Amino acid sequence: MVERKTIGSLEKVSFPEFNIKDVVAKIDTGAYTGALHCTRIFEEETKEGIVLHFSPFDHPEKVKTTDKFYTKHVKSSNGGREKRYVIDTEIVIDGVAYPILLSLADRSGMKWPVLVGRRFMRTHNLLVDVKRRNK
């Protein structure tokens, strides 16, 4: 039998690639994919090809650039469909680093800046204890 780790419905997470530590994420079994709060999200055509620029967590002075991204249509929390950029990064939960795909969205109107969806939990054999909150 595969060992499953249990996490809470809210967890402190870190993103080493962005030098961001201890951000509270909502673990959401109702969401298929995860989302990361970003602003200033835009593409740019360069000599090497198209790159994506974004500023994670309301830090406009910290602009990240990647050529490893794709777009997809996501059903948002209000029921509408919107085009979002998706990146591959690393998330640390309870001291363990995991690869994760996250869509980039302006979540300034949301309570939690990071949403972790069920695809991530299924991939990494994680269970959610809704009574547990590690924030």
| Residue that has been written with the tokens 């795909």 in this structure | 101
Q: Which of 31, 43, 51 is nearest to 100 (CA)?
A: 31
Give the mean pLDDT of the chain.
91
Model pLDDT for residues 9-28, shown as the tens digit of each residue: 999 999 999 899 999 999 99
Q: Is the pLDDT of residue 78 over 80?
A: no
Q: Is the pLDDT of residue 77 over 70?
A: no
Residue 42: both structure tokens together: 């835009």
Q: How many helices (H) and strands (E) does the chain have?
A: 1, 10
Distance CA 76, CA 55 (A): 20
Q: Is the pLDDT of residue 79 over 80?
A: no
Question: How many whole angstroms from its chain centre is CA 128?
Answer: 17
Model pLDDT for residues 87-117, shown as the tens digit of each residue: 999 999 999 999 999 999 999 889 999 999 9
- Residue-wise burial string across 101-111, b where 16 or more C-beta atoms lie within 10 A, e elsewhere: bbbbbebeeee
Model pLDDT for residues 49-66, shown as the tens digit of each residue: 999 999 998 777 889 999
Q: Is 70 exposed, middle or buried, given 0-12, 13-18 or 19+ CB atoms closer than 10 A?
A: exposed
- pLDDT score for 133: 72
Q: At the top level of CATH, which class does the domain 5-134 belong to?
A: mainly beta
